[in-house]
Structure 1
Amino acid sequence: MTNVYLIGAGPGDPGLLTQKGRRHLETADIIIYDRLVNPTLLYLAKKDAEFLYCGKLPRHHIMRQDQINAAIVANAAQGKKVVRLKGGDPAIFGRVGEEMKAIRDAGLTYQVIPGITSSSAAAIYAGIPLTHRDHNGHVTFATGHQKNNALTEIDMTTLAQGGTLAFYMGIENLPRICEKITKQPELAKLPVAIIEWGTLGRQKVLTGTIATIESELAQTTMANPAMIIIGNVVKERSDTSWFEQTPLFGKRYLLASETGVTFDQICNYTELGAHVYALRIQDARFDDITTRVLSEQQWDGVILHDGTPARIFQEELLRLGINETFHIFQNDPAHVILEG
């Protein structure tokens, strides 16, 4: 009987998780998740599910890949239902092949549940279709890092032939990418878009050309995680995309409720463009997550649901050792923030 599920969490917007992924997430005994997984997806876990964070930063891994593989196998061998939750689609630069092999080698079975990949989702949330009959007939997915000379293997002539090139996590190597492309001088004027934190309310988009994008990026604080989209489809972006025109886009809210914020309540905010994180009051499984999220990001305030007094939120911060001050909104009557 299969008890290991390798699930794509999608690009960030929690509403983009697949229904199949949600069903297995809700019944997992242990969830092993990455840094780029939206932590609000863990709200779907059952009350006694374990969480294991294996977040990866550039040049700094909480867990190495072999340790992740070992954790999957060890927990599955104990009879637990294991969900390995990975950002985007696990089969596109997600190292899922290595995890599949480790599971097979241990004599266990597994299922892979694809997710929406970041290139298509981030691009269209920025108003850029990856394909357009007026601009291109093919798309190339590429990794933006230099391991195993990945960049040298990319045939840039596809761009000259009207293609679109989507680089995952390529900001640090943008100079090399641009240098390689400009070896064909006619490509220097190709449009480029950099999309940081695509599909989230904190999304930022920078556009330019191969010739200008490096200097324009240097004037910003943009960093990975980001997609780089190169090709004439970038011309389809208007000043602001459909997503950036949603009423709460750019707002960053913490949500808190003494009785617990539901996943559907979270999605009510994200569908209107807000970037949110919901505190799980007195749930120790979320302590490290909450501390990390509140320390790494800036917030416009906290919205208290279900008549939750401010004291409850303040006591939770004290319990976690977080010394921050937040503007407090009472969402009473319900949805006053959403409608305002």
Structure 2
Amino acid sequence: MGKVYLVGAGSGDPELLTLKALRVLQQADIVLYDRLVNPLLLYHTKRDAKLVFCGKSPDCHAMRQEMIGKRLVREAEGNHVVVRLKGGDPGIFGRVAEEMTQLEKAEMAYEVVPGITAASAASTYAGISLTDREASSHVTLSTAHRKAGTLMEDDFASFVKHGTACFYMGMENLSHIVHQLLAGGISSEMPIAVISWGSYGRQKMIKSSLARIEAEVASSDLSNPALILVGEVVDRSSAASWFTKLPLFGKRYLLISKNPVDFEVITRFTGQGADVWFVQVGENRDKRFDEITNRYLNEQNYPEILFLEPEAKALWEFQSELKSIHA
């Protein structure tokens, strides 16, 4: 029998992957990965590992949760090392309890590998400390909806009093969150931040008050995934975070190479705040990434192309020409 690893990939920045997560990724025979996983991390897998996309967006599920659980069991029964790769931490709104239950029922060996959750990564990269001795004595992680999409009616105001509230998956329910906080007696001037794509070089943030945040978000280009932070700690942060001050923050590069990925090259860019995607070109490329690249570039825009070797440009142009002919 094989084994299943339920792994947290961290948030955005590829260097937030833990050492244990890296090890099991390198050993995996098959990886089932979510939409919010930075796909650069898939380059850590061995070349013959299967890569299966089972991502979820607000209006589209590539693979239903029950199907994912059945696939985990089936692949492990085939004596494979299986990694279920999730964005952030699997135990924080990552449905890990449902997958553990399915694996327990199947009497399948498994391990859970924690990851850095969005609340930690997004807030830190936005320059906001979730706790503060003078402003926040507790942190509450919450989601604005339950399984069937029904809105929660919890006392959101209690999350904010003397503390910090972190709302996951809350963009569509921002109006509901604001209404509940105001109805619970929270001041309309309470600071709030909405952080989109936290810890990526494409990270964006709006800091405002409860009274004004909806209008400001509506007139912006912020998109999912986004984290909502409410509390005095938002106002105690600097206007610009350490991350946004990095020399390449906001730059978006498509790196083209004839050679396999080199993570020292990748982190040379991401470590300075850039958002990058890597493409290997030529007949010797890892063809598993052809589909991944097509899907990713349909969602993300990289206006600056950097060819890591002179020959890479000709190979890239040749592949692009072939693709247009077959299309």
Equivalent residue number for residue 154 of structure 2: 153
Equivalent residue number for residue 21 of structure 2: 21
- Which stretch has the larger CA shift, 274-283 or 49-58? 274-283
- Which stretch has the larger CA shift, 312-321 or 280-289? 312-321
- Unaligned 5+ residue runs, structure 1? 324-340
2:156–2:184 Cα contact (<8 Å) kept:
no
2:28–2:49 Cα contact (<8 Å) kept:
yes
Task: State, as a whole percentage, how many aligned pairs show the same letter.
Answer: 45
- Quote how far apart the aligned CAs of 1:157 are: 2.2
Deviation per CA, 1:6-58, whole angstroms, max 9, x where unpaired? 10000111000000000110110001000000000011010111100001111
- Quote how far apart the aligned CAs of 1:109 are: 1.0
Output the CA distance in 2 between the equivalents of 1:243 and 1:319: 39
Output the CA distance in 2 between the equivalents of 1:5 and 1:224: 27
- Quote how far apart the aligned CAs of 1:186 are: 4.2
Matches for 1:233-248 after TM superposition, within 5 Å:
233-248=233-248
2:256–2:312 Cα contact (<8 Å) kept:
no
Q: Which amino acid in structure 1 is aligned with residue 159 of structure 2?
A: T
- Quote how far apart the aligned CAs of 1:106 are: 1.0
Residue among 309, 316, 321 paired with 1:313: 316
Equivalent residue number for residue 288 of structure 1: 291
Matches for 1:118-267 after TM superposition, within 5 Å:
118-145=118-145, 147=147, 149=150, 151-160=152-161, 162-267=162-267
Output the CA distance in 1 between the equivalents of 2:193 and 2:104: 40
Q: Which amino acid in structure 1 is aligned with residue 57 of structure 2?
A: L
1:4–1:109 Cα contact (<8 Å) kept:
yes
- Unaligned 5+ residue runs, structure 2? none
- Which stretch has the larger CA shift, 177-186 or 5-14? 177-186
- Quote how far apart the aligned CAs of 1:258 are: 0.6
Equivalent residue number for residue 300 of structure 1: 303
- Quote how far apart the aligned CAs of 1:318 are: 3.4
How many residues in Structure 1 have an aligned counterpart in Structure 2?
322
Q: Which amino acid in structure 2 is aligned with residue 8 of structure 1?
A: G
Output the CA distance in 2 between the equivalents of 1:64 and 1:303: 37
1:247–1:272 Cα contact (<8 Å) kept:
yes
Output the CA distance in 2 between the equivalents of 1:199 and 1:182: 30
Equivalent residue number for residue 3 of structure 1: 3
Tell me how large the CA RMSD over aligned residues is: 1.7
SS in 1 for 2:142: strand
Deviation per CA, 1:151-185, whole angstroms, max 9, x where unpaired? 3124422323x110000010100000000010134
2:197–2:203 Cα contact (<8 Å) kept:
yes
Change in CA separation of 1:158 and 1:42 when aligned onto 2, cut-off 3 Å: closer
Matches for 1:70-109 after TM superposition, within 5 Å:
70-109=70-109
